[in-house]
Amino acid sequence: MIIVGLNAFHADAAAVLLRDGVLVAAVEEERFRRVKHWSGFPAQALAWCLKQGGVQLADVDHIAINQNNWANLPGKLAFMLSQRPGLGLWLSRWRNRRARNSLADLIAETFHGQRFRGRVHHIEHHLAHLASAFHVSPFSEAALLSIDGFGDFSSTAWGVGTGADIRMDGRVNFPHSLGIFYQAMTQYLGFPHYGDEYKVMGLAPYGAPRHMEAMRRIVRTAADGRYALDLSYFRHHREPVSRQDGNGAPDFDDIFSPQLEELLGPRRKPHEPLTERHHNIAHSVQAMYEEAFFNLLNALQRNTGLTQLALAGGCAMNSVANGKSARMTPFRDFYVPPAAGDAGGALGAALAVWHRLGGARKFAMDRADWGPTFSRDEIAQELANISEAGFVITEANDDDALCSHTAQCIADGQVVGWFQSGCEWGPRALGHRSILGDPRRADMKAVLNMKIKRRESFRPFAPSILREEVPAWFEQDGDVPFMSSVFQVRSEKRPLISAVTHVDGSGRLQTVAPGSLYRRLIEAFHAITGVPMLLNTSFNENEPIVCTPGEALDCFRRTKMDLLVLGPFVLERAPGADWAPKSQQKPA
């Protein structure tokens, strides 16, 4: 049975393909369009998934999409009668629904001459989120939570997963949303783009919780775990604030109302300096989110009695809160999928259909390289097209030689672009499309931020660590294969890995288990330095993570990386090149 899953007409459009309940391919449309968070119909992602699976459109039995216009009708009617929103809001939603109902037409336009003979399934947004986490988790039973902005008129849903079944126990409906709260505060702090919330999360440790009284006026929590927004500080429930035309990233007008500035003072404009007040507001925003999040988790645990949690939705990318969950709640085992946000809904929708049709659980997702991969010959062909001077290209004899050489270069202070296996599923670079550096170097964060990533100086970089070494370097233990949680670095270790230790002593770690070439690279670095981790950041420069060898080469050319490892090939800048990027500062 061939099932295609889609996240369409929304940010992070994506496609997946299942064969008999096993994932074959998964990729976001942005990897092809080269526009972050690309929304609309994932035509190129779908075409690639079919090609990867070796099937035609006519071979597909079912198409599942993570949206259902008929979901939560009672809540929609109650809101319409009680709030009487403006006509513009309903016209905007009606246009969005019309686009989504034209799925069959879009498929026909994309695949000229091919005919889809199967069935289309519309899966409720939060059910798709829950399925995307639970059905690929290692748990046979778990509490489930989906939490994001909005989808199918809900922002939050929770329940229990048992075997192949998911039971939905409760939800928070529009217009109340922790995702909307965080997005509005992100805009207020001068970060206007969709997905900028992680900047606030990175800024928060520089401040103090001096605005909690105001935050608790904006968000109210209840003893049963639910929460509600004071809607006087928001606009999204009265008028349209989102524009998603299917030809780029989603764009949002201000979600917050003028009353928020009356409460907190003037908003920060995007290019204004960050002050102590902004740091304190960011810290308070994160603290308020955590307060509501842990209140919800504690209620969920009381009601289910379970200690295993599968978490999804856009807010599941709040790795700081995730990392504190074991301390702040009775949950002990956690699973967050690599694509926890809306892209992951494509996988969840496909899995929901598979299980509705009687399919059994087939696999646990413990890796993320489900996107396009390239053979040695394909990479060699791309390298053959290089015309400019200034590069020295060699091919490693074997994997051991490749890892040993690369590890030594990193230990010597070089910045390395690392391109191996399939492109990652989800927003994190996890050792397949990564830029790597020495975590020991006090200057490495500044070098990467200013010379390569060209981003705000306060944003941290992540450590990829050998799984068995976590207890020796971090204050808590746990599997974090998809970089979904932040742990505190042990105080005595912080001076040894200053490049991946944030200002509050934390690190957003990725645990690396045996079995991958990336693991072998970290082992080689460990043998040289005694440090069992690498600094890892995404292989990009203010763009989606690179997907193809050509994109990796382009990024290498226009930035100041020292080394590029493409499959078995190593590209180094020739002696005498006009930039010498190595830092002169020695490791601590």
Section 92-98 average pLDDT: 55
Least confident of 77-91, 104-118, 239-253: 77-91
Higher pLDDT, 263 or 105: 263
Higher pLDDT, 240 or 305: 305
> Where would I find the H helices in 15-86?
30-33, 43-53, 73-83
My answer on whether 164 and 99 are in the same domain is: no
My answer on whether 129 and 160 are in the same domain is: no
Instruction: Tell me the torsion sign for CA atoms 68, 74, 75, 76.
Output: positive
The model's pLDDT over 441-469, given as tens digits with 9 standing for 90+, comes to 999 988 898 778 778 888 899 999 999 99
Under a CB-based contact definition with an 8 Å cutoff, are residues 570 and 405 in contact?
yes
My answer on whether 424 and 553 are in the same domain is: yes
User: What's residue 581's pLDDT?
Assistant: 39
My answer on whether 17 and 37 are in the same domain is: yes
Whichever domain contains 314, its CATH number is 3.30.420.40
Instruction: Assign 583 a pLDDT band (cuts: 50, 70, 90).
Output: very low
Does residue 578 carry a pLDDT above 50? no
User: What's residue 90's pLDDT?
Assistant: 53
Whichever domain contains 491, its CATH number is 3.90.870.20
My answer on whether 253 and 122 are in the same domain is: no
Does residue 253 carry a pLDDT above 50? yes
Give the C-alpha distances (Å, rounded to integers) separating 239 from 85, 222, 242, 392: 7, 27, 9, 57
My answer on whether 405 and 542 are in the same domain is: yes
Give the C-alpha distances (Å, rounded to integers) separating 510 from 74, 198, 305, 321, 431: 42, 17, 29, 16, 10
Section 250-273 average pLDDT: 96
Q: How many domains does the chain have?
A: 3
CA atoms within 13 A on the CB side of 585: 12
Give the C-alpha distances (Å, rounded to integers) separating 350 from 3, 57, 371, 436: 6, 16, 17, 34
User: What's residue 584's pLDDT?
Assistant: 35
d(CA 132, CA 127): 9
User: What's residue 540's pLDDT?
Assistant: 96
My answer on whether 257 and 351 are in the same domain is: no
My answer on whether 309 and 347 are in the same domain is: no
Instruction: Assign 579 a pLDDT band (cuts: 50, 70, 90).
Output: very low
My answer on whether 167 and 283 are in the same domain is: yes
Least confident of 96-100, 218-222, 336-340: 96-100
The model's pLDDT over 178-229, given as tens digits with 9 standing for 90+, comes to 999 999 999 999 999 999 999 999 999 999 999 999 999 999 999 999 999 9
Is 580 contained in some domain? no
Is 361 contained in some domain? no
Which domain range does residue 502 map to? Answer: 376-573
My answer on whether 158 and 246 are in the same domain is: yes
The model's pLDDT over 499-509, given as tens digits with 9 standing for 90+, comes to 999 999 999 99
Does residue 57 carry a pLDDT above 80? yes
Nearest to 311 by CA among 275, 351, 272, 338: 338
The model's pLDDT over 150-175, given as tens digits with 9 standing for 90+, comes to 999 999 999 999 999 999 999 999 99
d(CA 277, CA 281): 6
Is 370 contained in some domain? no
User: pTM, whole model, 2 decimals?
Assistant: 0.94
Section 544-557 average pLDDT: 96
Place of tokens 């203010």: 542
Angle between helices 178-188 and 276-304 (to 10 degrees): 170
User: What's residue 17's pLDDT?
Assistant: 98
H or E element, residue 327: helix 319-328
Token pair recorded at residue 137: 């988790």
End-of-domain residue from the set 335, 366, 393: 335
Q: DSSP assignment of 496-519, as one string?
A: GGGGG--TTSEEEEEEE-TTSHHH
Under a CB-based contact definition with an 8 Å cutoff, are residues 224 and 302 in contact?
no
d(CA 501, CA 493): 9
Token pair recorded at residue 173: 């409906």
Does residue 117 carry a pLDDT above 60? yes
> Where would I find the H helices in 333-428?
344-356, 376-384, 399-411
Name the average pLDDT for the chain: 92
Nearest to 315 by CA among 305, 306, 307, 325: 325
Under a CB-based contact definition with an 8 Å cutoff, are residues 62 and 121 in contact?
yes
Does residue 418 carry a pLDDT above 80? yes
My answer on whether 320 and 174 are in the same domain is: yes
